[in-house]
């Protein structure tokens, strides 16, 4: 029974059936389409205009168009702004300068805020961006907003950095554009790879693909750890280097916030327990030793506690314990099959739960209060917090599109960033 439960926790996702969801319109451009779903709570989006980035001094128009797309996509994914349709813009781009927009033209179309950009040179480039409060008719100073000596490939990074500064100007906390999300992906019969993709869906690549099953990626020590069946049984790897060499079967591993140690779920022939593991992969000591399975560890933001899944109550539930070990405290008392917890910087633990064959995503706080984030939107699993606690990455199968999705911390806004089947085990770079 325990082995069956553990196997389900490890490989969950391939066998969950999809459901139909009726969602809002697709917004975006080309094959970078994304889905925004508005729920019943949260704040309204602010109207933002993002006109075409202007090319001067011989800059290639294709470069300016690309960076315009980056700015619009980042601001859409911020879940703070609604991008006004470019066809509605009244301002004349030929006569309006970067630093002196005609605010009456932007007020006339209902813009609360305005972003303008200018790229000069033929490479390396100078990129300049500005953020305005169009309602008040003032420039909102952000840092950085000017980038000198930028390569063509570096312009996307420059745009992300500016957008992160815009988010800080509106919320007090910088954005996380430019970060990556790791995942596992089915690439053939009995084959899974570990890959990464940028938060905006750009530059998806399979980083670990060796003809075997590679899964459960975790960021730490400047790279990715994961479980691989490359040598016939599940072992722990860091990059292409095998860390575990004992007889244990390794499941999910979590890295402490200080990058000093790990906690891994390991089975030595019986049920799975949690073990403290050194950076070199050596097992230090056992943290749990019960008749139940303990899997899927995740550290608290300060590194003092571990949340995990245990079958001690007869079904998979979320528990919390001290990093030093000892008896765990049951946190969830609702849901018959709770799994894949991730402890966010905001103190909330996000997790997935299966009910009647469908999986949805929830959060739980330290008092045990549970909040639902997805409902009637297909099946949703494997959540992971962004480092600022404003987003959750997750895997979804729904009528609007299957693949990797993002949503706001309250679940109100959701967007697909990478389309396709076979995804699982998200882990957001922190």
Choose the final residue of a domain: 119, 137, 171.
Answer: 171
Give yes or no: residues 13 and 92 share one domain: no
- Report if residue 406 sits inside a domain: yes
Question: Could you list the pLDDT tens digit for every one of the 430 residues in the chain?
Answer: 444 444 444 433 332 222 222 222 222 332 333 334 435 445 689 999 999 999 998 888 999 999 999 999 999 999 999 999 999 999 987 789 999 999 999 999 999 999 999 999 998 999 999 999 999 999 999 999 999 999 999 999 999 999 999 999 999 999 999 999 999 999 999 999 999 999 999 999 999 999 999 999 999 999 999 999 999 999 999 999 999 999 999 999 999 999 999 999 999 988 999 999 999 999 999 999 888 999 999 999 999 999 999 999 999 999 999 998 888 999 999 999 999 999 999 999 999 999 988 999 999 999 999 999 999 999 999 999 999 999 999 999 999 899 999 999 999 999 999 999 999 999 999 8
Give yes or no: residues 203 and 164 share one domain: no
- Report if residue 286 sits inside a domain: yes
Choose the final residue of a domain: 171, 201, 229.
Answer: 171
Choose the final residue of a domain: 131, 154, 171.
Answer: 171
Give yes or no: residues 164 and 184 share one domain: no
- Report if residue 402 sits inside a domain: yes
> Is the pTM of the predicted complex or chain greater than 0.85?
yes
What's 241's domain CATH number?
2.120.10.30
Question: How many domains are there within the chain?
Answer: 2
- Report if residue 36 sits inside a domain: no
Give yes or no: residues 362 and 341 share one domain: yes
Give yes or no: residues 147 and 261 share one domain: no
Give yes or no: residues 157 and 230 share one domain: no
What domain range is 368 assigned to?
2-23+179-428
Give yes or no: residues 75 and 13 share one domain: no
- Report if residue 29 sits inside a domain: no
Give yes or no: residues 202 and 249 share one domain: yes
What's 153's domain CATH number?
3.40.50.10070
d(CA 40, CA 409): 14
- Report if residue 60 sits inside a domain: yes
- Report if residue 345 sits inside a domain: yes
Give yes or no: residues 237 and 93 share one domain: no
Give yes or no: residues 248 and 124 share one domain: no
> Is the N-terminal amide bond of 124 cis, ω within 30° of 0?
yes
- Report if residue 67 sits inside a domain: yes
84: nearest Cα among 104, 108, 55, 66: 108
Give yes or no: residues 279 and 132 share one domain: no
Give yes or no: residues 242 and 385 share one domain: yes
């Amino acid at each position: 029974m325990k082995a069956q439960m553990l196997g389900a926790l490890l490989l969950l996702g391939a066998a969950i059936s999809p459901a139909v969801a009726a969602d809002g319109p697709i917004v975006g451009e080309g094959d970078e389409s994304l889905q925004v779903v508005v729920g019943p709570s949260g704040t309204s989006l602010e109207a933002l205009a993002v006109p075409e980035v202007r090319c001067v001094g011989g800059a290639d128009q294709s470069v300016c168009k690309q960076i315009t797309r980056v700015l619009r996509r980042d601001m859409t994914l911020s879940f703070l702004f609604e991008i006004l349709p470019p066809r509605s813009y009244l301002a004349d781009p030929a006569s309006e300068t970067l630093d002196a927009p005609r605010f009456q033209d932007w007020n006339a179309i209902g813009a609360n805020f305005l972003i303008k950009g200018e790229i000069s040179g033929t490479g390396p480039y100078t990129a300049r961006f500005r953020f305005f409060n169009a309602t008040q008719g003032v420039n909102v100073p952000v840092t950085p907003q000017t980038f000198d000596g930028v390569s063509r490939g570096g312009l996307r990074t420059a745009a992300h950095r500016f957008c992160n500064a815009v988010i800080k100007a509106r919320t007090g906390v910088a954005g996380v554009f430019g970060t990556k999300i790791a995942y596992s992906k089915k690439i053939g019969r009995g084959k899974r790879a570990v890959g990464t993709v940028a938060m905006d869906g750009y530059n998806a690549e399979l980083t670990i693909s060796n003809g075997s099953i590679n899964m459960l990626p975790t960021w730490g020590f400047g790279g990715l750890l994961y479980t691989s069946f490359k040598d016939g049984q599940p072992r722990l790897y860091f990059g292409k280097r095998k860390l575990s060499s004992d007889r244990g079967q390794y499941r999910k591993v979590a890295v402490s916030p200080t990058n000093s140690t790990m906690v891994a779920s390991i089975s030595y022939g019986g049920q799975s327990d949690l073990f403290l593991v050194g950076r070199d992969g050596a097992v230090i000591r056992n943290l749990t030793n019960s008749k139940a399975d303990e899997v899927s560890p995740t550290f608290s933001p300060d590194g003092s506690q571990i949340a995990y899944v245990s079958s001690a109550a007869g079904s998979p539930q979320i528990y919390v314990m001290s990093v030093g070990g000892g008896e765990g405290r049951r946190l969830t008392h609702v849901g018959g099959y709770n799994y894949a917890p991730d402890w966010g910087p905001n103190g909330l633990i996000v997790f997935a739960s299966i009910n009647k064959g469908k999986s949805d995503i929830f959060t739980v706080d330290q008092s045990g209060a549970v909040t639902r984030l997805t409902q009637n939107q297909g099946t949703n699993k494997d959540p992971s917090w962004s480092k600022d606690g404003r987003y959750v990455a997750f895997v979804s199968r729904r009528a609007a599109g299957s693949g990797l999705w993002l949503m706001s911390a309250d679940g109100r806004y959701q967007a697909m960033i990478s389309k396709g089947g076979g995804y699982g085990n998200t882990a957001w770079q922190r």
